[in-house]
Amino acid sequence: MNNFKYDVAVIGLGYVGLPLAIQATDSNLKVFGYDINEERISDYNLGNSSIEDITDGELQESLEKGLFLSSDAKYLSESETIVISVPTPLTDYQPDLSYVKSAAETIAKHIEKNQIIILESTTYPGTTIEVLIPVIEQNSTLKAGVDFYAGYSPERIDPGNETWNFKNTPKVVSGINEESLSKIKEFYEKIIDTVITVSGTKEAEMVKLLENTYRHVNIALINELAILCNMLDIDIWEVVNAAKTKPFGFESFRPGPGVGGHCIPVDPNYLAFKTRQIGKPVRFVELAQEINNSMPSYVVSRLLEKMNALEKTFKNSNILILGVAYKKDIGDIRESPALGIIENLIERGVNVKYFDPYVSKIKIGEQDVEKEDSLDNIDNYDLILVHTAHTDFEDFNFNITAVPIFDATGSDHYKNAERI
């Protein structure tokens, strides 16, 4: 028994925070969700979810079960556990921890003895001890490890993944001391099937960076080999498909137009930032970043080659981008390579439109990119670029069009397409 009204408060109700709040509510915990965005809170309280993995029905059901959402931070003092899931973006390629610091300052104003403070936001090793805790201690009278518990647990949200969700994805947890670790492990075991402990917060912070840097480097490797294979007149897709038949020692990665989303393009920069601080740059990571960042330009160069082979001018041509989300079957365009491709094409004087059933609008700078309402008009284009192979597209027979198709996804659905 304790004196807290809420079992957990979640600070930041975006792609990570809202699923956590929903899962905790479904696990019969009393949950307070806090976000400084009053409009977001108002929409959520009306049962309108802006997070793709959470349906309106799921949100409404959680609200009926007692999920309490507010932009008033005073309720933090009534919560036994506080989980921070705020954004940690890059600003001028440098880690921006302003949201974490702001959350820590807010917590400090309302902190009570024996509360459990957990950071889930992706960051560089050392943030929990070097940034989060000092801000709380400097703005309150309480001391970490004495008056309150603290630790770090990396989020592992994969939008659109129907197999691995918040509950069944193993959760890595850490604490600043044994008592903190015990408390944090006990909390997550109430809402997640499998909880894995590591010895310290730096190790837990590094886990997230390793997971996404591993993918980042291997994607860069296969992208560089795709470029090389094109120069050598080798079918990279045949090579990949043959290589992945090996039952050991090889994991298949597929080339594409670049990397997108809120993790892979961003997280390696946190690792590079930290290693530069100690005078040891991570050369693999920085090279991978360079290769993956160059892929949108490479795709445009391939489109230019295609148009030249067709003896058509590139400038003033009409190109349709099929799918602009960073991965299939979701509408998330954060860091999507499509944005760089579209910007490059516009700069070259190409008339660009896109079709994506999951994305209602996109902007390049201040310019709105025109959207096609359907695929009925594809014959009006000089070239089609398949950027995101949404499952919805498989219902359309692309063999009926004479418009050339360039496929950056390697999907088997586009039989006559030229592939990256």
Q: Where are the beta strands (DSSP E) in 108-203?
A: 116-119, 149-152, 171-173, 195-197
Answer yes or no: is 169 within a domain. Answer: yes
The pLDDT assigned to 269 comes to 85
Answer yes or no: is 220 within a domain. Answer: no
Same-domain check for residues 181 and 250: no
- How many domains are there within the chain? 2
Same-domain check for residues 173 and 257: no
- Nearest alpha-carbon partner for 15 in 198, 266, 255: 266
Q: By the 8 A CB rule, do 359 and 324 touch?
A: yes
The pLDDT assigned to 2 comes to 67
Torsion angle of the four alpha carbons 268, 270, 276, 277, in this order, in degrees rounded to the nearest 10 = -160
Q: By the 8 A CB rule, do 9 and 82 touch?
A: yes
Same-domain check for residues 59 and 177: yes
The domain containing residue 144 runs over which residues?
6-199
Q: By the 8 A CB rule, do 406 and 303 touch?
A: yes
Same-domain check for residues 335 and 191: no
Same-domain check for residues 369 and 264: yes
The pLDDT assigned to 399 comes to 83
Partners of 197 in beta bridges: 173
CA distance 270 to 293: 16
The pLDDT assigned to 3 comes to 86
Q: Choose the final residue of a domain: 146, 171, 199.
A: 199
DSSP conformational letter for 130: I
Same-domain check for residues 21 and 134: yes
Residues 6+ apart with CB under 8 A from 141: none
Whether 229 is catalytic is no
Answer yes or no: is 231 within a domain. Answer: no
Same-domain check for residues 181 and 277: no
Same-domain check for residues 317 and 266: yes
Answer yes or no: is 204 within a domain. Answer: no
The pLDDT assigned to 411 comes to 86
Answer yes or no: is 337 within a domain. Answer: yes
CA distance 181 to 184: 5
Q: Choose the final residue of a domain: 170, 199, 228.
A: 199
Answer yes or no: is 212 within a domain. Answer: no
Answer yes or no: is 206 within a domain. Answer: no
**For residue 81, what is the domain's CATH number?**
3.40.50.720
Residues 6+ apart with CB under 8 A from 41: 13, 33, 35, 69, 70, 71
Answer yes or no: is 168 within a domain. Answer: yes
Same-domain check for residues 194 and 245: no
Q: By the 8 A CB rule, do 171 and 195 touch?
A: yes
Cα-atom radius of gyration of the chain, to the nearest Å? 24
- Locus of tokens 């799921």: 58
Same-domain check for residues 55 and 147: yes
Q: By the 8 A CB rule, do 210 and 217 touch?
A: no
Same-domain check for residues 248 and 153: no
CA distance 68 to 64: 10
Partners of 354 in beta bridges: 321, 371
- Nearest alpha-carbon partner for 22 in 14, 397, 216: 14
The pLDDT assigned to 34 comes to 98
Classify strands 79-84 and 363-364 as parallel, antiparallel or unpaired. unpaired
Catalytic residue among 67, 104, 119, 263: 263
Q: What is the full DSSP assignment across 284-307?
A: HHHHHHHHHHHHHHHHHHHHHHHH
Q: Choose the final residue of a domain: 171, 199, 227.
A: 199
pLDDT digit string (tens) for the chain, length 420 residues? 568 999 999 999 999 999 999 999 999 999 999 999 999 999 999 999 999 889 999 999 999 999 999 999 999 999 999 999 999 988 877 889 999 999 999 999 999 999 999 999 999 999 999 999 999 999 999 999 999 999 999 999 888 888 999 999 999 999 999 999 999 999 999 999 999 999 999 999 999 999 999 999 999 999 999 999 999 999 999 999 999 999 999 999 999 999 998 888 888 888 888 888 888 888 899 999 999 999 999 999 999 999 999 999 999 999 999 999 999 999 999 999 999 999 999 999 999 999 999 999 999 988 999 999 889 889 999 999 999 999 999 989 888 889 999 999 988 888 778 998
Length of the chain: 420
Same-domain check for residues 76 and 187: yes
Query: Is 397 exposed, middle or buried (CB count within 10 Å of its CB: 0-12, 13-18, 19+)?
Result: exposed
